[in-house]
Structure 1
Amino acid sequence: MKYKTILGLFGALAIWASACSSPQKETTSDDGWRDLFNGKDLTGWKPLGGEATFDVEDGVIVGRAVANTPNTFLVTEETFGDYIVELDLKIENLSSNSGVMARGQFDPNANDGQGRVFGYQIEADPSERAWSGGLYDEARRGWLYPLDLNPEAKSAFKMGEFNHYRIEAIGDEIKTWINGVEVAYVVDDMDATGFIGLQVHGIRNPEDAGNKTYFKNVKVKTENLDPMPFSKDIFVVNNRLNELTEYEKSKGWKLLFNGQNSDGWIGAYKESFPDHGWSITDGILTIAATDGSESTNAGDIVTTDEYSAFDLAFEFKLTEGANSGLKYFVTLSEGNSGSAIGLEYQILDDEKHPDAKMGIEGNRTLSSLYDLIKADKQSRFIKPIGEWNKGRVVVYPDNKVEHYLNGVKVVEYVRGSQEYKDLVAISKYKKWDNFGEAEKGRILLQDHGDEVSFKNIKIKELK
């Protein structure tokens, strides 16, 4: 008995020593967290995609970049549905773009049989753009949440330091934090389950080969989830159809289009909604194509309410060669023929509609302030004809105005400023006194004789 007791004592001491030497703390049963990385080796993980390497050094996963290879991901062999994941991530070199896959997917047949990782990725962006914590749909739809939507969070990520990431993927909601800062909020149901992955981005410059990205303290919680509420007023990219989240409602958002009927809208210069031309089917509001003329068939529609300072978001889908627009500060007081007058967020097929080449230096192109300011946009942030694009117009109480296209800010100006007045003076609007400077006005959707569809139109009044 004494011999067995001594062996038992040595066994207990060995277990205790092993626990003390591990750089990862043991998962405790009372808080529900589980370590995904044991601090010693890559058990439970596998590389996918490119040829970057992953090793463990001093309790840290170290990813090393390899030139001329696709993005490489170290992913969990286990897949997850609803969960909260936390980890620490460090980048030391500007070439080392990285990210964390949430509910990641893998297509083994892509890239000529080499495979491709795709799906939700929470960004680690060391560049001047600073979109860390934003949500990118890797190898699929592109950016879902660029940090132009939450510019205050751009300073959360610290270069050369370990940054603490928290990612909640619960139901169709994904929320992110970096170092305790609330960053992104996306509602999307494309992937309900998938792996967790750590990215080493592909590089082209051989001089950047070997640059390191570091990951540690990777843990997950899958049961008894307690979502952390956002305390700040964060813009939500909500891909549900004509439905607000409880968070959005609590922050003052309301639907301008309920997806079922024309409540809240009437024809411009009319007392009711048009009886033809405009239709509502499966939650989509569509103006029918006619001959491409401006407001000569069904006519424009406007909100019954007027707005002064507001945040307005909407989605639109163009057909080939189509033209339309969303106007704001529409007063219906000008007595003009054709479309009612107002500041216009241009909705246009830039490639096929001739209006894109008119005006001055492109100020009639998609998402521009029509005939006044050209949208500063990149083609990669424009969805093709036939797909949904996200528009947004923000009018602040101080009269600063912003246009967004798919989450990226493309226009900024101040209503009533001298710069603004100078632009009006050389535009088609010069004949109207104080154009676009009304204290309040209606929102307008334009009938320009082309088929264009709208959904998810929501607004928040700003104080």
Structure 2
Amino acid sequence: MNLILVLIIIFFNNQSKWVDLSSDDISENWHTYLSNSVEGWESKDKVYVLDPSDKKNNGLVSNKHYHSFILSLEWKVDKGGNSGIFWALNEDPKYSVPYLTAPEVQVIDDEYYYGGDKENRKHMNGSVYDMVAPSMLAANPTGEWNKYVIEINYKKNIGNVNLNGKDVSTFPLRGKKWNEMIENSKFKTWDGFAKTEKGPIALQDHDTRVYYRNIKIKEL
């Protein structure tokens, strides 16, 4: 009985372990989309920085695939910056860029692109891009660090986006409401969009400088 109890404890400890995806060597945990390199990205004291002068599609893709997880990371953008965080990516050569298959939590300079226009909330920080508008705008001013804690839990059919300590978006991951969200978005005619529940996560290359650090993930 004691051995069984020990094995159960070990199992649940392993299930809830946070894994650090930040390192001095980016290639330990990442590669660029449809590539074996990390071209365009640099690690500066474990801060991942995208060089926008490299005009290739250099979205940074995790080496590992994930199903249900909590992702915690910090990010910032310069003026005019634009990026995003994808999940359940289908890294198939027939799709030229990650956003063709993967839902995205927005990373952007809200003020530069949208100012005070609240009609564009589905495209602002805290949104699931073009699908879920945040309940509030919680991003820090451009150039300051922000923190996302993103839960994608297919086991419980729930997703949640926490921005700087505030829950700003909660949504289902399948079913009628999820399908309606896609139907009411730009993705409704995209055959490959959101067709899988397991895949890599990815950090978007949108041709502007972006910074990520303290990237940690816990599988559920």
- TM-score grouping bracket, smaller chain normalisation: 0.7 to 0.9
Conservation of the 8 A alpha-carbon contact between 1:278 and 1:298: no
The 1-side partners of 2:194 and 2:98 are apart by: 15
**Could you tell me how far 1:257 is from its partner in structure 2?**
1.8
- Mapping for residues 412-423 of structure 1, pairs under 5 Å: 412-423=170-181
The 1-side partners of 2:97 and 2:18 are apart by: 32
User: Where in structure 1 are there 5+ consecutive unaligned residues?
Assistant: 1-247
1:246-290 CA distance string (max 9 Å, x none): xx98941111222443311111111x1233x21111221000133
User: Which residue is equivalent to 2:112?
Assistant: 352
- Mapping for residues 27-426 of structure 1, pairs under 5 Å: 251-270=16-35, 272-275=36-39, 277-290=40-53, 296-333=55-92, 335-340=94-99, 341-353=101-113, 361-378=120-137, 381-396=138-153, 397-426=155-184
User: Where in structure 2 are there 5+ consecutive unaligned residues?
Assistant: 1-12
1:217-246 CA distance string (max 9 Å, x none): xxxxxxxxxxxxxxxxxxxxxxxxxxxxxx
User: Which residue is equivalent to 1:132?
Assistant: none
Conservation of the 8 A alpha-carbon contact between 1:268 and 1:300: yes
**Could you tell me how far 1:450 is from its partner in structure 2?**
0.5
3-state DSSP of counterpart to 2:110: coil
**Could you tell me how far 1:334 is from its partner in structure 2?**
7.6
3-state DSSP of counterpart to 1:423: helix
3-state DSSP of counterpart to 2:148: strand
3-state DSSP of counterpart to 2:112: coil
The 1-side partners of 2:98 and 2:68 are apart by: 23
User: Which residue is equivalent to 2:197?
Assistant: 439
The 2-side partners of 1:354 and 1:290 are apart by: 24
The 1-side partners of 2:126 and 2:82 are apart by: 12
Q: Which amino acid aligns with 2:49?
A: T
User: Which residue is equivalent to 1:148?
Assistant: none
Give 2:187's match in structure 1, choosing from 421, 429, 446: 429
Query: If the length of structure 2 is used for normalisation, what is the TM-score?
Result: 0.84
3-state DSSP of counterpart to 2:43: strand
3-state DSSP of counterpart to 2:121: coil
1:154-185 CA distance string (max 9 Å, x none): xxxxxxxxxxxxxxxxxxxxxxxxxxxxxxxx
The 1-side partners of 2:93 and 2:132 are apart by: 22
Determine which structure has the larger helix proportion and give its number: 2
Q: 1:442 to 1:355 in 2, by over 3 A?
A: farther
Give aligned pairs, total: 206
Conservation of the 8 A alpha-carbon contact between 1:273 and 1:301: no
Conservation of the 8 A alpha-carbon contact between 1:324 and 1:446: yes
Identity of aligned residues (%): 29
Query: If the length of structure 1 is used for normalisation, what is the TM-score?
Result: 0.41
1:181-212 CA distance string (max 9 Å, x none): xxxxxxxxxxxxxxxxxxxxxxxxxxxxxxxx
The 2-side partners of 1:441 and 1:355 are apart by: 34
1:9-46 CA distance string (max 9 Å, x none): xxxxxxxxxxxxxxxxxxxxxxxxxxxxxxxxxxxxxx
The 2-side partners of 1:304 and 1:362 are apart by: 31
Conservation of the 8 A alpha-carbon contact between 1:346 and 1:369: yes
Conservation of the 8 A alpha-carbon contact between 2:49 and 2:210: yes
The 2-side partners of 1:278 and 1:414 are apart by: 33
Conservation of the 8 A alpha-carbon contact between 1:324 and 1:346: yes
Higher relative contact order (CA 8 A, sep 6+): 2
Conservation of the 8 A alpha-carbon contact between 2:89 and 2:98: no
The 2-side partners of 1:407 and 1:269 are apart by: 34
The 1-side partners of 2:115 and 2:205 are apart by: 15
**Could you tell me how far 1:433 is from its partner in structure 2?**
4.2
3-state DSSP of counterpart to 1:372: coil
Conservation of the 8 A alpha-carbon contact between 2:105 and 2:127: yes
3-state DSSP of counterpart to 1:403: strand
3-state DSSP of counterpart to 1:286: strand
Conservation of the 8 A alpha-carbon contact between 1:326 and 1:346: yes
